[in-house]
Structures are given as C-alpha cells and as structure tokens.
Amino acid sequence: MARMARHPVPTPLRLADADTAADLRTYLGRARRADPDGVARLVGHGDVLAVYVSPVHGGGGPVVLGLRTLPLRAPATLDVTVPLAALDTPAPPDGTVPPEAPVLLDGAGPGEVLLEVPAGRAGPGAGPGVAWAGTSPPRRGWQGVAAVAPEVLRQVAAAGIAEVATGAPAGSGAAAVAALRARVWGRDLSADLPGLPAGVAFAAVGLGFVSAAPAAVYRNGPWWRVTTPAGHLLARRPLLGG
C-alpha cells in the first residue's frame, strides 16, 4: 500500500459558502463522536472536496467509510489525512487561528469560509487507527443491487449499539471492546443482503446520513456502497474474510 506524501497545504481551502462550512462542522462533529481518536482524509479534486471518515474499523472486523462531498469556491488539489480533533474545532470569535488547531474561519470574500488544513500530519498506515485512510474504494463499476428502508438502518444500529454497551461494561479492555464491535458490526445487515456489514447502519445513523427515503445499495467486487441524499457509506470486509 502506497504511503501518502506528507506535504503542507500552501493555502487554506476556500469552501463555497457559510452553509457548506456549517455542514462540514456538523459532519466532522458526528464523525468524532463515533470515533473520538479518529482521522479524516481530505481529498481535493478541482472544485470538490471529498471528506472520508471511518466510524467502523479495526478489531478484525469490516471497514466502513463515510463520504461527504462539498463544493469549493476555488479549485484545490490535495490528499491528506488529519486528526478529527484538529478539524472539529469551533471557529474563534475574533477570527484568529490557534497554531495548534486549524479551524474554519471567515474569509475575506462575502460569505466565504476558509478551512486551514494541518500540514505534516500522519499519512495512511503511519499509526493505529489510520490504516483505513490508505484504502481507496473504486470510483466506477458499481452495480445497483437493492434498497434499504430507513427504519431498517435505525433498528440495526440501535440493536448493535445496545449489544456493544451491555457486552462491554466499564473496565473492559480496549482489545476486548474492539473485538466485540468487530463481531457486532461485522454481521450481515439483513438476510436479504448477505455480506453487507451491519456497521453500515451504525455509520449511517451516527453520521446523520439516514433520510426519509430508502438508501440505495450498490456492489463492486468486495466493496459495498450505500447511498442516501446526505452522503455515501463504503464498506468492505477484511480481505481474508470474504
């Protein structure tokens, strides 16, 4: 697996508008609640910023990625992985940038918001919890296979959260909790979709991706994609696990 270059981002990213900035703050805040010590992978391509997070990974279980795409006011090219803690920071009222925690800031243009991206952060595979950031789901070749009702996603997520909470009481070791989460979220989401990890439901609810409409389900080799109006969930079981 190729390591991503550690390079500084020469200028702040120019988000499209204040609504986009608010959307990004909400998304990153939800991602951090699901994975407090996690990271985000920021991929800029032209006037689109793709923000990947991973509410489910590790413990020998599946990897589930969340993906939100956001418009940029100015084109950008980057691919960096940064701690969620460095991005999920309220903008200070005076518009200054704390040197240790880049934030979303009001910009010079009307309604413009800048995203200061930390430079020199760890790339994929550089430490615990970031190996998933080197994973690249396919962009093309997806085949539609089904749809999942929003109530199914909510029910599966609620049942799994309850099982993890009761099965990992206070004092449980990190390895035991990770193994339990891997078992719970690695199960099939439903009998009708064998191979689609239940962790997709947890990620969909946790990231606020569940909508009133059914979620569309796609398949591409070992990868699954669940799409709603709010974003995409991309899931893959461990390579040795099918």
Q: What is the pLDDT of residues 63-102, one digit of tens each?
A: 999 999 999 999 999 898 988 988 865 444 444 434 333 4
Q: Do 149 and 125 share a domain, yes or no? A: no
Q: Do 31 and 125 share a domain, yes or no? A: yes
pLDDT for 174? 86
Residue 1 has pLDDT above 90, yes or no: no
* Burial letters 129-140, b for 16+ CB under 10 A, else e: bbbbbbbebeee
Predicted confidence (pLDDT) per residue in 211-238, tens digit: 999 999 999 999 999 999 999 999 999 8
Cα–Cα separations (whole angstroms), residue 154 to 23, 161, 193, 199, 215:
22, 11, 16, 11, 12
Spatial contact of 235 and 218, defined as CB atoms under 8 Å apart: no
Residue 3 forms part of a structural domain = no
Smallest Cα–Cα separation from 115: which of 24, 196, 50, 205? 24
Q: Do 107 and 171 share a domain, yes or no? A: no
Residues 94 and 44: their CA atoms lie apart, in Å, by 28
Residue 147 forms part of a structural domain = yes
Q: Do 33 and 121 share a domain, yes or no? A: yes
pLDDT for 136? 85
Residue 23 forms part of a structural domain = yes
Residue 104 has pLDDT above 90, yes or no: no
Q: What's the pTM value of the predicted model, to 2 decimals?
A: 0.85
pLDDT for 127? 45
Residue 4 forms part of a structural domain = no
pLDDT for 216? 98
Predicted confidence (pLDDT) per residue in 111-132, tens digit: 678 888 875 444 443 444 567 8
Q: Do 120 and 158 share a domain, yes or no? A: no
Residue 165 has pLDDT above 70, yes or no: yes
Q: Do 170 and 63 share a domain, yes or no? A: no
pLDDT for 109? 64
Residue 95 forms part of a structural domain = yes
CA 80, 224, 142, 208 dihedral sign is negative
Q: Do 147 and 94 share a domain, yes or no? A: no
Residues 103 and 203: their CA atoms lie apart, in Å, by 24
Predicted confidence (pLDDT) per residue in 185-199, tens digit: 999 999 999 999 999
Residue 13 has pLDDT above 60, yes or no: yes
Residue 180 forms part of a structural domain = yes
Predicted confidence (pLDDT) per residue in 19-68, tens digit: 999 999 999 999 999 999 899 999 998 999 999 999 999 889 999 999 99
Q: Do 119 and 173 share a domain, yes or no? A: no
Smallest Cα–Cα separation from 200: which of 153, 131, 135? 153
Domain residues for 38? 13-129
Residue 3: pLDDT band with limits 50, 70, 90: very low
Residues 6 and 97: their CA atoms lie apart, in Å, by 21
Q: Do 92 and 165 share a domain, yes or no? A: no
Q: Do 148 and 93 share a domain, yes or no? A: no
Torsion of CA 100, 129, 25, 216, to 10 degrees: 160
Rounded to the nearest integer, the mean pLDDT of the chain is 83
Q: Do 125 and 151 share a domain, yes or no? A: no
| DSSP codes of every residue in the chain | -PPPP----SS-EEES-HHHHHHHHHHHHHHHHHSTT-EEEEEEEEEEEEEEEEEE--TTS-EEEEEEEEEEEEEEEEEEEEEHHHHS-PPPTT----TTS--EEE-SSTT-EEEPPPSS---TTSSTT-GGGG----SS--EEEEEE-HHHHHHHHHHHHHHHHHHS-TT--HHHHHHHHHHHHHSBS-TTSTT-BTHHHHHHHHTT---SSPEEEEEETTEEEEEETTEEEEEE--GGG-
Q: How many domains does the chain have?
A: 2
pLDDT for 88? 61
Q: Do 71 and 170 share a domain, yes or no? A: no
